[in-house]
Every structure is written in C-alpha cells, then in structure tokens.
Amino acid sequence: MAAPAATSFYISTSSSSSAVSSSTKSLKPALSSNLGFLSTSSPSLKALKAKSHSYNVSSYGGALNVRMVAAPAAVKAPMSLDFETSVFKKEKVTLSGHDEYIVKGGRDLFKLLPDAFKGIKQIGVIGWGSQGPAQAQNLRDSLAEAKSDIVVKIGLRKGSRSFAEARAAGFTEENGTLGDLYETISGSDLVLLLISDAAQADNYEEVFSHMKPNSILGLSHGFLLGHLQSLDLDFPKNISVIAVCPKGMGPSVRRLYVQGKEINGAGINASFAVHQDIDGRATDVALGWSVALGSPFTFATTLEQEYRSDIFGERGILLGAVHGIVESLFRRYTENGMSEELAYKNTVECITGNISRTISTKGMLALYNSLDAEGKKVFATAYSASYYPCMEILYECYEDVATGSEIRSVVLAGRRFSEKEGLPAFPMGKIDQTRMWKVGERVRATRPSGDLGPLYPFTAGVYVALMMAQIEVLRKKGHSYSEIINESVIESVDSLNPFMHARGVSFMVDNCSTTARLGSRKWAPRFDYNLTQQALVAVDNNLPINMDLMTNFVCDPVHEAIEVCARLRPTVDISVPADADFVRPELRQTVN
C-alpha cells in the first residue's frame, strides 16, 4: 500500500493546533509509554485528561470538516436501571463513575431456578433459527441439573424443515417436547418468541391471541416493540413481557455453555428487561432465564434501549461496519501492490484474530501500546482519519433505528422474499463468491492451527476508530456502560469475531439472522465508501493527525469500564473449529 503520512506526533499543552509537527516531533513518553488499563485514579491518566481539555480541535478540510463537541469525559449520564430480585444476589459495579447492578451467573445457581420459575410448568421455545437451538438446549440442561420438572417444548410451523434438527437435539413429539407452534404457545406459561424479526412483525397478532392470560412473553430482541411502536400499538395488558438478550449469536451461547460445564459455567453475557409485569414475577423469571442460559453476568436495560443498541450494533462493528471496512482496506492494499493473500491477512485475519484477542483480554490501549513507535504513528494516522467518517454513518444508522425507519425496512425486505403483487421474489443473495472472499478460502486452507494473523497497525487504527466512534454514539444517546461495552466490544471480540476467524466474514454475513444479514448488506457499502472517499483521501493528502482525537482515545473513561467488564467475561475463550456450523436450517440447502 502507499505509505500513510509519516507523521510523528506528541501531546502538547499549546492551545494552537500548529503545535503538532508533521514530520519532526517525536512521541512524548506520556503517550508512547505502556499505559495498559489505566484507572481514572492513575496520575498519568489524570494528567493526560487535564491536558486534553486545553486543545483546540484540529480542523480538517473537506469531508472531514467537523467539530468535536466534547471531550469523552463530558458525557450524558446513563439512565439508572436498578431492580429488585427475591431469588438472586444483586451486585453493584461501578463503570467509569456510574453505578450499575448485575447478577453474576454460574452453574451453582441452577438450584435456584425452580424458585425463579415459580408457577411455570412449561417453557415454549418458538423457532429454531439462531437463538432457538442454543436457548432450548441450555434451558433443558440447566433445569435437568436443577432436578426441575419444568418442560421445555419447541414450537414450529407445520412442515418446517427444522423438525428434524430439533429431534436430533433430543426434542420429540413422543415425549411432549416438540410440537406445533400455536399449540405450544397455548400450552406454555413462558413463551420465548425466537422466530425472525420479520416473522414476529407479520405474526404477532396470532401469537398474542394464543397466549394464556397471566402468561409471560419472553423476547431475545426488542425488535417487536419497535415495530409495535411504529404502528402506535403495544403488547396485550393481560401478559407480562420480558427480555433476555444474549450478547452473541446462538451458536456462541451454546458452545460456551458446553465448554464451561466443568468450571462452573461459561457463556455469553446477557442484558435483561422487564417491559410489563402484571403479577410481580417478571424480574425473577427473566434473571432465571439468563442464569439458565449460562450468562456470566446479566445487566439491566429497557426493551427500547436494547433494540436500539442491538439493531444499531449489528449494522455497526458487529457485522455491517466490519464487512465494509475490510472490503475498503483489502481493495486499497491490493491496489497499492500488496499481494491478495497478504492483504486478506492484514484486513480480515488481523481484525478477527490478533486484534480481537488482544482487545478481549487486555483492552484497546494494550493493543495500541503493543505497537512500536512507527506502528503507533501509522495507527494514529489511520485512527485520526477514520474516526469521523465512521461516526457519520453510525450516527445516521442509530437515528434510522430510533425513528423506526430501519425496522420498517427489515419488515418490508422480508415481504419481498416471496412473490407479491405480480413482482418476483427477491431473497437475499450471497456475497462469498467475489474475489476477496475466494482469497480468504485459500488463506484459511493453509493457515496453521492457532494462527491469529498479523497485527497490521493501519488496520488496527481503522478498526479501533470504528469501535470508539460506536461507543461515543451510544454514550451520547444515554445507554449504560454495560450495554455500550457489550454491544461495541465484548459481543464483537468474544462472540462474533472468533466465528468469522474460523469461517470468514462473508460466511457470517451470509448465514446469521435475517435482520443482521439485511443490515450488513445495506450499511456495509456506506462504511466502505465513506472510508474510501474520506478517510483514505485524508491519508493520501497527508492531513495532520488530529491530536485531540488521540488524546481523548488514550484518556477515555471507557477503558476503565472495559477493564471492569473484562473481569466478568466468560471463564473460557470460545473454541471455534474450522468446520463450525452456525447455518440457519432454512438456509442449509443453499450452502455449499
């Protein structure tokens, strides 16, 4: 690739942006030293924070002519989400000065599940897509370990191809654990509606009509609330409505649960929400559900905040944005003379392997500090040029989700999958036949076992800029740090990226949930084009590094919050073999 601007930089107390030298100044020790996980009580961090407020923003011309509105420390206080539980132990955690409340999981808590699920005789798991298989099996196994007689029953459409897979997992008509969708709903005290978002939007009236009075509707995504809000509707008033939302796809939920059986549990963190509680049971039922799934820790949110952060996140760093940036960087690297195999390693393999593992276990600052002096300069060049182009798309995406536009888009797209109004069906095509993804197949075929790929500083700078921009949008929109970190960091590096490292980004884009696949196809090109047309042009034009951005990155209070959350991460690293299967059953016949 063409070398980025060889700009050295340092942190200055001067109020003039001209204090940043374009070629001759060196990194001062305060920024280039090994900062690791700095606490807000750290003298070094306090000094850097104090300095960060004395700068004027470097003004980038053209497409990057934006104004920084505040240093990261001056953020909107997240909403308070306290809760009461009579079954589980609630614990307080302090994340960057904000108190939040969580429930830690563990297999030693399974004995409490009968109390949490008091009054529930049957749990109906509706659907066998991404979350259905994992949640049904985890619930069944956890309840069996608790010696509970609660039945976990799968409900599917008549004629569904998923019946065979549910039977293979041990759910059968003969033992009363597999049956028709609506019969299962009618007979269940807790209904976990895990069909696709588009299917929920098209079938919610029928689902509601079959639910028993005083039963509980469980969701693993707030999409249905967003759809109902767009129609000025709400849930029936004779049922409770809760949510438990694992911060990872279903196969990760199951895989980590199985891996953790011998060490008191491992799994995927989850958020929970109580939207409607008609008899006072909702909180304990939701927490019991999360504990039974194996969640290492469960944090509170609202159903509205959940669907906004989740739909936004999967269009951002979880899938859509990472798809867009690797396409952009692969094209740049090869156009500037890098071999296709090396370009793939320096984009996809770098992000899904080395970068993700380092952020997962040590944090973003440790990633930055692992680079040598020249690598830090390249990182800073990429970060400075990419941060606002990424934020521009993320900001737009969040507002499309919050206003219902993105939800409406998903519903309409789902309806176009079938012939309608004399027009042909337009199901989603696959992306894995293009040049980049064919190169990826060759790279993975010869990759040594355990190889996490290179750490390429320019790619790292772009990826971390994306991650920090997403964190900032969610923070400014009032989300809790638990939700921000799980949606922007943990779900990415601990759940999705390991699967992408095993099978490729294209495989994930082609085989994850319908809502996520649609979002990636819609938003990935936006990130691709914005990086290509703005960030990379800024680099080629040798625009100076925005020192305020770099200072704020180093001093951002989110690093301390990530450190706290890292202590609550799964007790084992997810192990994903090269043949890991997470193809949704309805797609299986179209997969090579």
335 known ligand binder: no
What percent of the residues of the chain are helix, what percent strand, and what percent coil, each to the nearest 5? Answer: 55, 10, 40
Give the Cα separation of 234 and 226 in Å (integer). Answer: 10
Q: Pick the catalytic residue: 98, 210, 221, 275?
A: 221
| pLDDT tens column, 373-430 | 999 999 999 999 999 999 999 999 999 999 999 999 999 988 898 888 899 989 888 9
Residue 336 predicted with pLDDT over 70? yes
Q: Which of 8-22, 152-166, 354-368, 389-403 has the lowest mean pLDDT?
A: 8-22
Give the Cα separation of 176 and 161 in Å (integer). Answer: 19
Buried b / exposed e over 325-355, threshold 16 CB at 10 Å, is bbbbbbbbbbeeebebebbbbbbbbbbbbbb
Span 134-158, average pLDDT: 97
Give the Cα separation of 297 and 287 in Å (integer). Answer: 10
Q: What is the pLDDT at residue 25?
A: 31
Span 40-55, average pLDDT: 38
Residue 20 predicted with pLDDT over 70? no
Q: What is the pLDDT at residue 4?
A: 39
Q: Which of 346-350, 489-493, 550-554 has the lowest mean pLDDT?
A: 489-493
Single out the residue of 368, 332, 358 nearest to residue 347, CA to CA: 332
Single out the residue of 296, 307, 242, 300 nearest to residue 269, CA to CA: 296
491 known ligand binder: yes
Residue 549 predicted with pLDDT over 90? yes
Highest mean pLDDT among 38-52, 164-178, 424-438, 574-588: 164-178
Residue 302 predicted with pLDDT over 90? yes
Q: What is the pLDDT at residue 2?
A: 42
Give the Cα separation of 142 and 107 in Å (integer). Answer: 8
32 or 176, higher pLDDT: 176
Single out the residue of 304, 295, 294 nearest to residue 273, CA to CA: 304
CB of 376 within 8 A of CB of 32?
yes
Helix (H) or strand (E) holding 93, with range, is strand 91-95
Query: 1: buried, middle or exposed (CB in 10 Å: 19+, 13-18, 0-12)?
Result: middle
32 known ligand binder: no
Helix (H) or strand (E) holding 375, with range, is helix 373-402
- Amino acid letter for position 584: R
Give the Cα separation of 581 and 297 in Å (integer). Answer: 26
Span 242-260, average pLDDT: 88
Distances (CA, A) of 117 to 75, 190, 398, 427, 524: 39, 9, 35, 40, 42
Band the pLDDT of 14: cuts 50, 70, 90.
Answer: very low
Give the Cα separation of 18 and 484 in Å (integer). Answer: 35
260 phi/psi in degrees, rounded to 5: -90, 10
Band the pLDDT of 269: cuts 50, 70, 90.
Answer: confident
Percent of the chain with pLDDT over 90: 68
> Could you confirm whether 210 is annotated as catalytic?
no
Span 179-197, average pLDDT: 96
Give the Cα separation of 580 and 495 in Å (integer). Answer: 13
| pLDDT tens column, 68-127 | 544 444 455 556 689 999 999 999 999 988 999 999 999 999 999 999 999 999 999 999
